[in-house]
Structure formats: structure tokens, C-alpha cells
A and B are shown apart, each in its own frame.
Chain A
Amino acid sequence: MTLSPALDLFPLLAAVLAAVSCGLLGNFLVLRKLSLMGDAMSHSVLPGLVVAFMLTGVRTAPVMFLGATLAGIATVVLVELIKRMGRVEPGAAMGVVFSVMFALGVLLIERAARNTDLDAACVLHGQLESLAWTSGAPASWWGVFGSATIQAAPPQVWTLLLTAGLSIALVVVLFKELRLAAFDPAMATAQGFSATALHYLLMIFVAGATVASFEAVGSILVIAMLIVPAATARLLTDRLPSQLLVSMAVAIGAAVLGYLGSIGVPQFFDKREVNAAGSMAVALGCLLVLAAVCGPRYGVLATAVRRTRLARNVALEDLLGRLYRGQEDESVPGRVDPRVLRRGRRRGLVERNALALTEEGRTRAAMIVRRHRLWESYLVERAGLAADHVHVTAENLEHLPETLPPDVPTDPHGKPIPPA
């Protein structure tokens, strides 16, 4: 598979720039549980585009941009209004507004703007493929670093470049404010800047990014680009700065992978390329699944391993505790899980040929029983619980070695607490 600058440079550039601006702003939407605002916005800018075209009769970027951005802002305002006036739940309010706006857009296209290339179908999956370098493209990729590229760049790429630049600038300049407003809007307002104003500013930027990306990558990919990179990053990191960086990497990575995949995968089966914007959305989905399964901290695999290890540890500690108590009052411990027993023997904590603790096992078990009984006495004396109610709580707390209540000689049932 080879890429040619003529066919692939500007589509790839446009996709990456759309990924950057949408992906970056999407972080704040996901954090504020506003993910679906992107969905709403990208559906409702459609009538804005059509009306702007109908009013002016021209199809230049600034006019379209203005119309669509106004429609985006109108969406946000209408959603707020319906939420407040009708006490409608936010999701439903969004659904009402964007579906009606979208229906209006489709109707207007059919009736009034049919002969333009505002085709209802390309609204959804974009026209990345049409951004080819029409004439005089360099033959090799080294040739693209020159003034010819700048002159040949289609307007969509310039708009996207501007949007990406502005989005980055917004996030850099207002990073502290956006972070605070995302996590604690009340605190933000208390600190003297209005979280509501910031919300609207962010929404204007989201509307702008949506519109700028709309033509190139289509409205559905805009939704995916707004949400999926940020969601993927959320699965991999906890800190906002690293989340922003990871989401950028995911967004750009998916744009490139999706584009290559849209050409390469069908070629592998001897077919012609498929829709690039759709492939990018699929690539985003694959990266998300990868992060959800293999993420080091919150991944399904890592969580499963951690849980199993913890469960095994608790089972083993419980066995040690039971054997210790059995030795203490010379009773026979009841049924023992053979797997847990084997594990105890393998670690040299239980005698090979008897149901008894080794020297090392006794020390470990003493620590566990000590923790259990110290917690029991603490719960009775300090937390005021009844002596016959504390066992279950202590049973849970004994497995946490980090904290220990103050030392006392006996537990509430009069049994001696093993020394440290």
C-alpha cells in the first residue's frame, strides 16, 4: 500500500486537525457528563448551514461557519430553556431540540437547497476523499514541504487549522479555569469566574469545532472524535494534563490508522478503498476496546488479576487465622478449601503433612489475628459497637495492613491479643 501526496495529503491533514480540535475539547465534555452535547450539536448545525446558504446564496466558509455556529449556540440555549421552563430531564431536552433541528435541516435541503452539494448523505459521512490535490501535486512525500502545499491547501484544511489552533489556545490559556469548572462548578463560581460563562464559551468552541470538521469528516465522526478519545484517555489515566495528552495521541492515532485502514484493509482483500471517516470511527472504537481490556490500571484484565490476587490473599489469610485460633483453643478447624491449603503449603506457611502452621505461618497468622482482635476492641471501645456485632467488620479490616488501632492486651471477648 502506498500513499500519494496528491490523493492523501489533505484528507489526512484535515482528519488529523479535526481529531485534534474535537478530541481536545471533548475531554471537558466527557468530564462534565455532557458527551451528548456533541451529538446534539452536530445534528443541529445542519439547519444553520442551510439557512445561511439560503439567506446569502453563497457557500463560502465564513458564511457557513457563522450560520452553523449560531445554530449550535441556539441549540445550547434552547436545551437550557426547555430544561428550565418545562422541567425536562437534560437528555430528553437535548433529544427534542436536536432531532427537530435536524428534521428541519433535512426538509430545507430537500425543498430549497437541493441543487447545491449540501447533500444530506455527505452530511453524515463527510467528504474527506474529495479533498484531493487537484493539479501540480508533488510526486514524492518530500515535496510536500514547500509553498506549493500552502497554496494548494483547500479551504477546509485552513478552517480546521484555525479551529485546532484556537482550541489549543483556549485550553492552554484557560486550563485552570476549565479544570475547576469541570470538577467543581460551584467552587469555580465562588472563586470569581462564572462557570456558566465558561460553559457557554466551551460550547461555542465545540460548535466551532463541530462545524469546521463537519464538511470534511461528517457529523457522526465528529461525535466519535469528541467523545471516544477522551473516554479512552479516561480509562488510562487519572490526571487531567495526562488525559489531554493521551486523548490527543488517541485521536491522531485513530485518524491516521483509520485512514490507512480504509485503503489498506480492502486492498488486502483485493477491493477498493472504503469510506475513510467511517474507518476512523471504527479505529477509535478499536482503540477504546483495547484500552478498556488492556489498560494498566482500570483495564478489565488488570482489574481481574488484581481482584483474583486479592481474593486469594484474603482466603489464605483467613485460613491462617483459623489454624491459629484452632491451635489456640485446641479445636479442629472445619472444612478447608484444598486449593487454599495447597497455596499455603507452597508458600511454606502450612506444614506439608499436617493441618498446622509452620513457624513462618505462625508469625504471619499472629499478625492477622492481632489485627482482627485489635480492631474488635477498637470498635467496641471507641466506636461504641456491641461486642457481638464487631466480628464481621473486623473480618474485613484485618486484611488491611496499612492502619492499626492502638495497642491493648485483650479483645472484647477476653482473648489475648498476640504481641507485635
Chain B
Amino acid sequence: MALARPEALTARDVVEVLSFQGGYNTNAVLVGAALLGLSAGVVGVFALLRKRSLVADAIGHATLPGIVTAFLFAVSLGGGGRSLPVLLLGAAASGALSVLCIFAILRFTRLREDAAIGIVLGVFFGLGVVLLSYVQRPENVAASPAGLHHFIYGQTAAMRAGDAMLMGGIALVGILSTVVLFKELALASFNDEYARVAGYPVGLLDGIMLLLVVLVTVAGLQAVGLILVIALLIIPPVAARMWTDRLGVLVLVAGGLGAVSGYLGAATSALLPRTPAGSVIVLCAGAVFVVSLLAAPRHGVVAVAGRRGLQRLRIAGEHLLEAAYEHAVSRRGVPTISARTLRAMEKLWGWPAWLGPVVLAGLRRRGYINRVELGYELTPSGVARGARIARNHRLWEQYLQTYADVAPGHVDWSADTVEHVLSPELVAELEAAILKAERGRP
């Protein structure tokens, strides 16, 4: 691309490229890469849901023999052999053939999917390398195979506007096909049993889904390369999975993350010298994934850890209220939490030193306890809450003993874990059932 310059990069260059003022060629490549990322993210969602992510890896590697064969074919017909549509057609054909080989291995041998993928990947790529080494012999140089190598790692820098449009066009076909078949693909990826019973041709849909993967792979060959194009099919969907559980949203988010990765990667590659676009696009996708894994509000590590921590605090608070209430009931005193109670709880539940004060602060804030001379005293609402927790606990102990055949010595533990899980409605139901059972007994 025109902008790969050796001198220092200025902020103006960055803004220029990112805001589509970097010239026609640059813009075409940026749009093409973004469309590629979008289509890979969208198609990749279904591959991920069908647990077929790594089939894409085999398809990517398997395009090489097709590219070289198409090149040889074109040369033998007298062409220059560098016609991109012809090469991509060859790539698509051998990519599709590799899918058939995987299915044949699964159908006719007792090998499993992981082995089938690895076999097809290695053997097809080996064949591609053999053919490539044949093409690159000195006596064949007249046919100028120089560009073929770029398909392995991708080479956006060499991409002209026309090539980028071809890439974007193929990507658009992939996106549109997915949109048209959205309902069918969704059903087949979530519940193939049901889809089969409902009369959907699940096998055919699987085939179509893999053909879409082939299509996206072929689209990405020139920009990202056949080894790394799998990253665009896997990473955005996996990252999007952290953000949402709903399929429609998942497809949109995955497509969006893919588009952003493609756009940023292509822009970086345009701005910095010696940065192969394929790698930068994949690294952008990787960064997006890391951010999603850590920060996504739904399944992100921070959010999940936060929710777990809050739940732990809540449970600890409940234990504390319960202990204070029960102690007060057995001694007929005022329910209080003394330093001794706290130490006992620390010992019993293995609380770290910081947990007690945090829990106490939380209980105080919610108005369950008040500070008094010797420690903390339960407020009326705290007493009510403690009573309720203690009752739930008893209820469960009795239930487990009566119905679930749990040894009495073990009941206390399970009762403690279970009581925090049950909804109030379920507790009421259980209570009624137990009372009824008790009354019915002789």
C-alpha cells in the first residue's frame, strides 16, 4: 500500500488512514478487510456452536494445493497464472474437497474428528508444499509464481483496490447467505436432534455452513493468509460469547468484533512498514479477545469473579446473622455479634482476616446490625432475617434427613450450601410438604 513509509509516523497519518482519507486503494483495502472480518465473525459463530471451529483450520491449510494446481492449470492454458479469481476458485475447490475428506474419514473409519482434521490438514498442506516446490523450480520461473507464497501468510500490502473488492464481494456473499439461512442454521446449531425431527435437512445445513467457512477462508486468503484465516473464524465468535447468550446478539457482536479487528489490522499494516496485515489483524482480534475475556459483563473473568465474591460476602453475612440469632435463642439473650463470635466463624468457615470486617460493614449498611459496646447488636430487621435463615436451615436439615437419606452428621454442610440456592417460593412449598408429611405420620 502507498502509505508504507520509512520515516516517523505522525498523528495526522493515523487519523488520515483511519478516517478513510488515505487514498482510494487504502480505503478499498480497509473496507475489504472490515467486510472480511464481519463475514468471518458471523460465519464463525455457527462453526463454533457446531463445535467445528478447527475444521476451518483444515480448510485453510487445504486451500494450498488448490491454489497451486489452479496456477499450473492457468499456466498450461497459456495464461499468466496470476489471475486472482482463478486461484481463488482452485482454493475453494480444494477447501471443499478437504471437507469431504474429513466427512469420509468420519464415515468410513473409526477415527474421531480431531484425528480427521489433523490428517486432512497435514496431508493436504504437504501436497500443497510439494506442488509449490515444483512450481518454484528455476525452469518454471518464466511463469512467475512469486505471488503464490503470499497466500500462506497473507500480504495486504500487495493488494490492489480490485483485489480488495473481490475479497469484500466474496465476504458479502457469505454474510448474505448467513442472513438468509439464519433460522435454519440457528436451529441446526442449537438442537440438531429437534431440527432433524422437525424435518430440517441437518446434514445439508452442516454442509452449507462448512461451504460458508470455505467461502470466508477463500476471501481471507490474500489478506490474512491460509494459516491465519482460521483466527478470524474462531476468535471473534469466542470473544462475543463472553458478552451475550442470545444468538442474534452473538452474531452481531462477533461480526462487529471481526470487522473492527480487520479494519484496525489493515490500517496498522498500512501505517507501519514491515507489518504483515494478516498477523496484525489476528493480533488485533487477539487483543479484542483478551479484553472480552477479562472485562465482558456477562461471562468475563472480572464480572464472574465479582459476582462470586459478592455471593460469598452475602453467604458469610447470612451465616453471621444465623449464628447470632441461634446463639441468642439458646441463651435467651439479645442477639449480638461479639469479637468471639467472629473468631469462631473465622475458624469454622476458614474466613480470611479481611472478610469479617467487610461482612460486618455490609450488614450495617443494610441495617441488620448496630454498633454497641461489646460488638454488634442485631436490629429488629436483622433478628427477623436471622430467624428466617435459621428456619430455612432447619427446614433443609429435616428435609434431607427425611427424604434424601443423608447421614445426620453430613446434613449440616449440605443444608448450609443449599439454603442459599432455594427461592422463597420453593421454601414455602417444602415447608408445607414437610408439615403435611409430619401430620400424616402415626
Interface residues of A (CB under 8 A from B): 30, 33-36, 38-39, 43, 82, 85-89, 91-96, 99-100, 102-104, 106-107, 110-111, 114, 120-121, 124-125, 218, 220-221, 223-228, 230-231, 234-235, 262, 266, 271-272, 274-275, 277-282, 284-285, 288, 292, 298, 300
Q: Which residues 201-233 of B sit at the A interface, judged by CB distance below 8 A?
A: 227-228, 230-231
Distance A300 CA – B108 CA, assembled complex (angstroms)? 6
Which of B53, B109, B130, B282 contacts A278, CB < 8 Å?
B130
B118 pairs with A227, CB closer than 8 A: yes
Q: Which residues 118-140 of B sit at the A interface, judged by CB distance below 8 A?
A: 118-119, 121-123, 125-134, 137, 139
B293 pairs with A85, CB closer than 8 A: yes
Distance A91 CA – B280 CA, assembled complex (angstroms)? 23
User: B residues within 8 A CB of A96?
Assistant: 231, 234-235, 238, 286, 289
A281 pairs with B122, CB closer than 8 A: yes
Distance A224 CA – B117 CA, assembled complex (angstroms)? 10
Q: What 9 A-B pairs come out closest when comparing CB atoms?
A: A281-B126, A224-B122, A285-B123, A278-B129, A99-B231, A275-B133, A103-B282, A100-B286, A227-B118
Interface centre among A93, A99, A223 (most CB of B within 10 A): A99
With A110-B276, A262-B130 known as contacts, the answer to whether A228 contacts B122 (CB < 8 A) is yes
Distance A9 CA – B289 CA, assembled complex (angstroms)? 47
B274 pairs with A110, CB closer than 8 A: yes
User: A residues within 8 A CB of B105?
Assistant: 292
CB distance from B4 to the nearest CB of A (A): 12
Extra contacts, 13 of them, besides A220-B122, A284-B126, A285-B127 (Cβ < 8 A), are: A33-B114, A39-B57, A95-B238, A103-B228, A103-B278, A104-B283, A124-B227, A125-B132, A223-B122, A271-B134, A288-B119, A298-B110, A300-B109
A35 pairs with B115, CB closer than 8 A: yes
Distance A96 CA – B235 CA, assembled complex (angstroms)? 6
User: B residues within 8 A CB of A114?
Assistant: 274
CB distance from A175 to the nearest CB of B (A): 22
User: B residues within 8 A CB of A33?
Assistant: 112, 114
| B332 contacts the other chain (CB 8 A) | no
In the complex, per-residue mask of B94-123: 1 if CB is within 8 Å of any chain A CB, else 0 = 000000000001001111101101110111
A/B interface sample: 18 pairs, CB < 8 A: A36-B118, A38-B118, A88-B238, A95-B54, A95-B238, A96-B289, A103-B279, A106-B153, A121-B152, A124-B125, A124-B152, A220-B125, A271-B134, A272-B137, A278-B128, A281-B122, A281-B125, A282-B126
| B149 contacts the other chain (CB 8 A) | yes
User: A residues within 8 A CB of B441?
Assistant: none
A277 pairs with B53, CB closer than 8 A: no
A102 pairs with B122, CB closer than 8 A: no
B235 pairs with A100, CB closer than 8 A: yes
| B439 contacts the other chain (CB 8 A) | no
With A99-B235, A121-B152, A278-B130 known as contacts, the answer to whether A106 contacts B276 (CB < 8 A) is yes
Name A97's closest neighbour in chain B (CB-CB).
B286
Interface residues of B (CB under 8 A from A): 48, 51, 53-54, 56-57, 61, 105, 108-112, 114-115, 117-119, 121-123, 125-134, 137, 139, 149, 152-153, 227-228, 230-231, 234-235, 237-238, 241-242, 274-276, 278-280, 282-283, 285-286, 289, 293, 299, 301
A86 pairs with B242, CB closer than 8 A: yes
B149 pairs with A92, CB closer than 8 A: no
B114 pairs with A34, CB closer than 8 A: yes
Distance A64 CA – B53 CA, assembled complex (angstroms)? 31
User: B residues within 8 A CB of A292?
Assistant: 105, 108-109
Which of B53, B123, B286 contacts A89, CB < 8 Å?
B53
User: A residues within 8 A CB of B299?
Assistant: 86-87
A95 pairs with B234, CB closer than 8 A: yes
Name A95's closest neighbour in chain B (CB-CB).
B234
With A106-B278, A221-B126, A275-B130 known as contacts, the answer to whether A36 contacts B54 (CB < 8 A) is yes
